[in-house]
Amino acid sequence: MGLKMPLEELQRVQQMLNTIPFMKSLTQPEIQEMAFQLTRRTFKKDETIIKQGEPGTLFYLISKGKVVVIKEKFFKKILLADLGVGEFFGEMALIDDFPRTATVMGAEPGEMYTLSHDAFESVLLKNPQVKELIMQTAEDRKKRNQALEA
């Protein structure tokens, strides 16, 4: 697999991945494999990163800055979450193969890493402990979102 980032950045990304709670159950080779498949992307304040209703193709991991997660329902916007460094989003559409359930926008300028759907499945979901943690996070988010929407 080709290197998508310089070695120094790759090492920084591996260190960041090692600090994320659900990544702790990945082996070092799995962390390295995931780091090789990540693509860095910056975002601006108020930039729409994903839009509710669109198909989900990427998993996102925030490395700098903050984002807000907003659900649009009946011409009303509901703030579902504020996410920051070390947090992730985009997993629900990849797990369920449904359109995006919310819009995610930059709350401040930042940086994130994206992982393709195929890499998400082959690296993260093949590890039973990581899969369980991601599935639990997705389920918790669905329940919280339903409560906020009520």
pLDDT (tens digit per residue) in 116-146:
988 888 877 788 888 888 888 888 888 887 7
Is 77 part of a structural domain of the chain?
yes
30 located within any domain = no
Residue 110 forms part of a structural domain: yes
Give the Cα separation of 126 and 111 in Å (integer).
26
Give residue 107's domain range: 40-149
How many domains are contained in the chain?
Answer: 1
Q: Which residue has the higher pLDDT, 44 or 88?
A: 44
Residue 108 has pLDDT above 70, yes or no: yes
Instruction: Give the pLDDT mean for 55-74.
Output: 92
Residue 75: inside a domain = yes
The mean of the pLDDT values for the chain is 85
Classify residue 76: in a domain, yes or no.
yes
* Residue 140 burial (C-beta neighbours within 10 Å; 0-12, 13-18, 19+): exposed
Residue 61 falls inside a structural domain:
yes
Q: Residue 66 is part of a domain; what is its CATH number?
A: 2.60.120.10
The DSSP code for 55 is P
The verdict on residue 24 lying in a domain is no
| 137 Cβ neighbours under 8 A, 6+ residues apart | 22, 91
